[in-house]
Structure 1
Amino acid sequence: MNQIVTQNSPKTADAQTTAHAKNAVVTTEQPTEQAFYDFYLEEHQNMACRRLHFAGSSFGLLGLAKSIKNRSPKPLLKGIAAGYACAWVGHFFFEKNKPASFKFPLKSFASDFRMYGDVLRGNLSLKDRKYDRTRKTQ
């Protein structure tokens, strides 16, 4: 009987409630991230824009690597500037829309690297949208 009382103690109930709340936060956050990524992909339908984003993200990563190697922030700053320049040229001249980073800078930054990873894994094409294998396009 003592075991049953111990298991139903307020501390155990609070721990179970906290664990349940954490699980609820994780499950409700996922669709929001996916919905934003779906929106993000809609804003990147033009292949020239996607290619410029891929090149820009590559410049940013190369700048990060060089900054770590040289222990200097300058290459990172140059990589970020080159990355955003490529992306914005893609949006203004090819996609003909405003970059999502103007309204949602952090979500856009994360989605850009998610798109970068999808390109590397072959889920998004830089040649033709018909080759895309993302959740939204299936």
Structure 2
Amino acid sequence: MSGYADFREFYPYYLSEHSNRICRRLHFIGSSLVLLVLLTAVVSGDLRWLWLAPLAGYGFAWIGHFAFEKNRPATFKQPLYSLMGDWVMYWQMLRGKVSF
């Protein structure tokens, strides 16, 4: 994985690193839990919930990569683009543009 000029150039690579359906599903579960954690923290006014957000998001995603995809998460080399890719893929999965 080399440097990318912009996110638009990076995203096809990101999708290629998520070709395993179980990996994508685990990403979706983790991202959904992140949203639930954020909502819980806001509604309850208790910011202590926030420590669970990275645990849920990265925990599920990394299990998907190491156990099913058999690759290293892009987060290790492209953390910002990878985080952006997580949410673009999540939105595309919700809209049916990327399969579950």
User: Structure 1 residue 107 and structure 2 residue 78: aligned?
Assistant: no
Look at both structures and tell me which one has the larger radius of gyration over its CA atoms.
1
Gap runs ≥5 in structure 2 = none
User: Structure 1 residue 43 and structure 2 residue 17: aligned?
Assistant: yes
Deviation at 1:73, TM superposition (A): 2.1
Deviation at 1:64, TM superposition (A): 0.6
Q: In structure 1, what is the equivalent of residue 41 of structure 2?
A: 67
Q: In structure 2, what is the equivalent of residue 55 of structure 1?
A: 29
Q: Is the 8 A contact 1:63 1:80 kept in 2?
A: no
Encode CA deviations 1:80-123: one digit per residue, 9 max, x unaligned. Answer: 21111000000000000000011111111111000000001110
Deviation at 1:71, TM superposition (A): 1.6
Q: In structure 2, what is the equivalent of residue 123 of structure 1?
A: 97
Q: Is the 8 A contact 1:66 1:75 kept in 2?
A: yes
Q: What TM-score comes out, normalization by structure 2 length?
A: 0.90
Encode CA deviations 1:50-97: one digit per residue, 9 max, x unaligned. Answer: 000000000111011011111222222213211110000000000000
Cα distance in 1 for partners of 2:47, 2:40 equals 9
Q: In structure 2, what is the equivalent of residue 84 of structure 1?
A: 58
Moved over 3 A (4+): none
Q: Is the 8 A contact 1:59 1:80 kept in 2?
A: no
Choose between structure 1 and 2 for higher RCO, CA contacts under 8 A separated by at least 6 residues.
2
CA-atom RMSD in angstroms: 1.2
Amino acid corresponding to residue 54 of structure 2 in structure 1: I
Q: What TM-score comes out, normalization by structure 1 length?
A: 0.66
